[in-house]
Amino acid sequence: MAEDKMGLAIGIDLGTTYSCVAVWQQQHNRVEIIHNDQGNHTTPSCVAFTDHERLIGDAAKNQAASNPENTIFDAKRLIGRNYSDPLVQKDKMLWPFKVVAGVNDKPMISVKYKGQEKFDVSILTIQNKVFQVKFQVKATAGNTHLGGEDIDNRIINYFVEEMKRKSKVDISGNPRALRRLRSACERAKRTLSYAVTASIEIDGLFEGTDLLSSITRAKFEEINMEVFEECMETVDRCLRDAKLEKSSVHDVVLVGGSSRIPKMQQLLEDFFNGKDLCKSVNPDKVVAYGAAVQAALLTEGIKNVPDLVLKDVTPLSLGTAILGNLMSVVIPRNTTIPIKKNKVFVTVEDYQFSSYIPVYEGERVKASDNNLLGYFNFSGHPPAARGYPYDVTFAINENGILSVSAKDKVTGNRNGIIISNNKERLSNAEISKMIKEAENYKSEDEKFLKKAKAMNDLDYHVYKIGKALKREDISSKLSWKEKEDIMSKISRATDIII
């Protein structure tokens, strides 16, 4: 019995809208998707609280219209975010339940009772050997606000505005009416994946007013075209990051329920110049399936699991700050891990005894605009003039653990820091946000880089001139007036640098 427990491996796809669980069946050497209590392979990512019980999945979703304030969905959008995050502030306006600020600005959902969704792209290369299949991630890109719920929200807004025009009623402030409308819009979205029109019929939606309407696939595509185009931009960015041409992609595999939308499939086929999309896997089950296989690989005692190796990449660049608050990248974004890279840095002052080494992740030119992972002081530099070199090494292992160390080759002194996957690291949503910010502020960053380099050049020349004035062979050739003039200019330049 103990051996059976030790050998059990499950994979969980925690989706924004639906979740799925799979198990590795050791006796059959295959993955099996687990049914829920309703007999479905996927379960709504939904929890509800009533006066007497807590409901999960289908049971929670089915009573949402009558209990909207205490029915929680979309909770994945809150993971890793602060309450003050602009995306949280935007999303909470659409939710019927209450989101409040908790300890350390973490968002909390408030309920009263008695007693998928994001768009992600990954590009992989596959090497098939006799006993092993190796998957190497070339690049990743994503946007947590390009999923099924976001598409639903646009349809909801469309019908809210239609009711304002036709029936002169506004349901935007009524959680119960919005919950009923959301359920109808989600059904319509699914219908439009195989039909050209879908009906929306809700009796007594608000103050005795019925909603009897329909939506065509053409109108659905028009409403959501901005979402579809942003998806294509994400795909394009992923290819650019991987430094690949469209023609280099052999297969395009669709994952997630929204990949069934005909317009999405058409845009992808057009983007890849008419390439047929791979539809041999079930988009609702594939994530849980893969997670179960990976769990089986990691579980001691399980045999006959396909020998798969996944080589991941760093989602953000890693580096440290140098003079002028500039980010000096040591490991660029989308570098395959495990990886170890070394870079030489220098002291910035004469007789500098120690160096402060901060560790950042991010794509901004200004170091302080990136995410600070940690820092350490490297002490023990020998007495030397400015520009004394020392080595800094960044290393990431197979588990994503980052270690940063500094070493003085002359003295042998060494110090460093180890940063685990969860220590101060950004969530997927925050990573996507940071990459987008780097693109949005590209012009501003270029100006900062130009100014910082100019200031660093000025600092270098001031230092060299000051050193030269201390040399007897140079100082003796200058008059008192010339020395005073040079010192005055050095003083003004120093004030500018500071």
pLDDT for 116: 46
Q: Give how far the C-alpha of residue 421 lies from the chain's centroid of Cα atoms, to the nearest Å.
A: 14
pLDDT for 129: 47
Average pLDDT of the segment spanning 435-455: 87
Contact present, 53 and 80 (Cβ < 8 Å): no
Average pLDDT of the segment spanning 251-262: 83
399, burial (CB in 10 Å: exposed 0-12, middle 13-18, buried 19+): exposed
Please state whether beta strands 318-322 and 354-361 pair in parallel, antiparallel, or not at all (unpaired): antiparallel
Q: In what helix (H) or strand (E) does residue 394 lie, and over which residues does it extend?
A: strand 389-396
Rounded-to-integer distance, Cα 141 and Cα 123, Å: 9
190-222 pLDDT, tens digit each: 889 888 889 999 988 888 889 999 999 999 999
Neighbours of 338 (CB within 10 A): 13
pTM exceeds cut of 0.85: no
Rounded-to-integer distance, Cα 241 and Cα 244, Å: 8
274-293 pLDDT, tens digit each: 888 887 777 777 778 778 87
Confidence of residue 142 (pLDDT cuts 50, 70, 90): low
- Inter-CA distances, 106 with 84, 102, 135, Å: 8, 5, 36
The residue that leads in pLDDT, 429 or 353, is: 353
Contact present, 98 and 80 (Cβ < 8 Å): no
pLDDT for 138: 66
Non-local (6+) Cβ contacts of 20 within 8 A are 12, 13, 33, 41, 42, 43, 284, 285, 287, 288
28, burial (CB in 10 Å: exposed 0-12, middle 13-18, buried 19+): exposed
Full strand arrangement of the beta sheet holding 47-49: 54-56, 47-49, 71-72
74-98 pLDDT, tens digit each: 888 888 778 888 888 888 887 888 8
The residue that leads in pLDDT, 456 or 339, is: 339
